[in-house]
């Protein structure tokens, strides 16, 4: 049984993705660094953070509310 979020394969994969995103963002030009690179870094960080936050939700009702929140957040990001 998984006792901590950092044991989860999905969290480990999210950290790998974040590392790759940071490497890509370093290669962007200075102008892009303040726009695209910043958003790329924030998005990459939020993946593993959301997994860790969701891991601590104890009840099914609480986990369900959190998943709905993430879904709304996802659709909001797509709209921007």
Burial 16-33 (b: 16+ CB within 10 A, else e): eebeebeeebeeeeeeee
Tens of pLDDT, residues 4-36: 889 989 989 999 999 999 998 888 877 666 778
Tens of pLDDT, residues 30-50: 766 677 888 888 888 888 888
Distance CA 37, CA 16 (A): 17
Confidence (pLDDT) at 2: 83
């Amino acid at each position: 049984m998984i006792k901590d979020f950092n044991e989860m394969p999905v969290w480990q994969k999210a950290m790998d993705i974040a590392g790759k995103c940071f490497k890509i963002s370093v290669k962007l030009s200075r102008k892009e660094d303040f726009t695209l690179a910043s958003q790329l870094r924030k998005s990459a960080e939020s993946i593993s953070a959301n997994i860790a936050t969701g891991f601590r939700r104890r009840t099914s009702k609480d986990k369900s509310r959190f998943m709905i929140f993430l879904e709304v957040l996802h659709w909001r990001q797509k709209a921007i």
